[in-house]
Amino acid sequence: MLHAHCQDKYMYLTSFVHREDLFNIAARWLCGQLHPSDGLRITQILICGGFVVGETLERVAKLLLEMTYNEPIQQKSVYYKGELRDVICRSPNDATPRVKELVHLYKSNPDFYYRETPINGVMCLDKKQRLLGLYRIKRPRRIAEKVNRYIANWIFRMVQDTAREMAQKRAEEMGIPLERLLSSKEEMDREFMAAEEAIAHKFRDGAIQLDRTALTIHDVGGIKIVADPERLARLEHILADHPMISIIDKENHQGDYQAVSLILAVSWDREYVCRRYMDCLGWQKYVRRGIPEAELKKGLEPLLDGAEPTINMELILSTFPDMVESELGNSIHEERIIAQRDNRLYKGYIPMNVELLIEYLFAVGLSPEVHVSRLPVKLWGRYLPETVASNIRHLYGIPEYALYY
């Protein structure tokens, strides 16, 4: 049985209305425990949660842009970063010399700027097709990476503490203070590996306790508003007293990447979302998710039992020059992602397994398969990314073997 303290300390995605159910499933999976109904429940959670966050993002983005600009906006779906960057180059709202330089560099070699990076978003444009803002839902792969990064930091500290305890024991056996203990690199590596193995065993036994706060992710849904500093300051002031939106956190980014990040708690409109699901035939988005079409046509209401009344999302306030810098300049988004991957404090097999398992969890919920017979990754084992890739192919009915013959 999963220990109670293990069950409430894992991935907590506050943009989803069934975040408690989702994180309880993730908690069990990370401890190697699969229930027969997990595949179907994950699918239901992602269908319901995805539609709610998508519709709510659109409504909130429109509201924020009305507060900022008070003019009609047009929406255009964006699937690749190249589409967004092309629009940015046609939106000289604030053509400083630096903006002109970056636009010129981009146009001279656009393929150098990660044009094929996928994005699941919508651009908000004015009547001249200039960018005023955008909203997006974070892709599952990026969520899995973020969970890896969060849990890796925690595990690294735990491994260090455990290894230090081992060194302390050696020092006591030798009758010397820890600070006088001379350890060879081989001894330190051996103690570090032993500490890592001990933590892996705690996962296997369901006896691990993580810090839930440190593993909470608020930005699965995100909005960016692009405007001059005065408009952005006025928007933030209005939001401070808004009856349906609360600012629960704020971060000012300085350095190469400059922007204001707000975490918003938003009360979503249950009646509106359910009506939209039927009016726009929202069920058609999910006919390849393994749930019978007749069930999907019944509406969203049957899936909303236990749904939270609020969801969280990130709001980024950016000037146009800072937006250009973040997409074409020194703080280009993809370079920041690469730096995050390269600069992890701890790159052991446990956080990598967490990433692989969370990626697989989302793949189950997005695939035509709702029955999962086994977990392809256990935190105390060692795997290559190909392991999960093979199992994801299986979810879509693609043979795992004899791919060529």
- At residue 8 the predicted structure's pLDDT band, cuts being 50, 70 and 90, is very low
Centre a 10 Å sphere on the Cβ of residue 161 and count the other Cβ atoms it contains: 10
Of 179, 207, 235, the residue that ends a domain is 207
Q: Give the tens place of pLDDT for each residue, 127-184.
A: 999 999 999 999 888 888 887 777 777 777 777 787 788 778 878 888 888 777 777 7
Domain that holds residue 175: 142-207
**Phi, then psi, of 184 in degrees rounded to 5:** -75, 160
Same domain, 227 and 331: yes
Task: Return the closest-CA partner of residue 10 out of 209, 206, 220, 265.
Answer: 209
User: 3-state DSSP helix/strand/coil percent for the chain, to nearest 5?
Assistant: 55, 15, 35
Q: Please give the C-alpha separations between residue 139 and each of 11, 222, 334, 354, 382, in angstroms, as whole numbers.
A: 15, 11, 14, 17, 25
Same domain, 64 and 94: yes
Q: For residue 298, tell me if it sits in a domain.
A: yes
Residue 55 tokens read as: 């519709």
pLDDT of residue 93: 61
Same domain, 125 and 167: no
Residue whose entry in the numeric block shows the structure tokens 């035509």: 368
Of 161, 187, 207, the residue that ends a domain is 207
Q: Give the tens place of pLDDT for each residue, 367-380.
A: 999 999 999 999 99
**pLDDT for residue 2 is more than 90:** no
pLDDT of residue 76: 97
Same domain, 155 and 37: no
**Distance between CA 85 and CA 223 in Å, rounded?**
17
Q: For residue 100, tell me if it sits in a domain.
A: yes
Sign of the alpha-carbon dihedral angle for 235, 241, 243, 244: positive
| CB-side neighbour CA atoms (13 Å) of 203 | 27
Q: Give the tens place of pLDDT for each residue, 345-369.
A: 677 788 889 889 999 999 999 999 9
| CB-side neighbour CA atoms (13 Å) of 313 | 29
Q: Give the tens place of pLDDT for each residue, 101-121.
A: 999 999 999 999 999 999 999
Average pLDDT value for residue range 305-311: 95
Average pLDDT value for residue range 230-259: 93
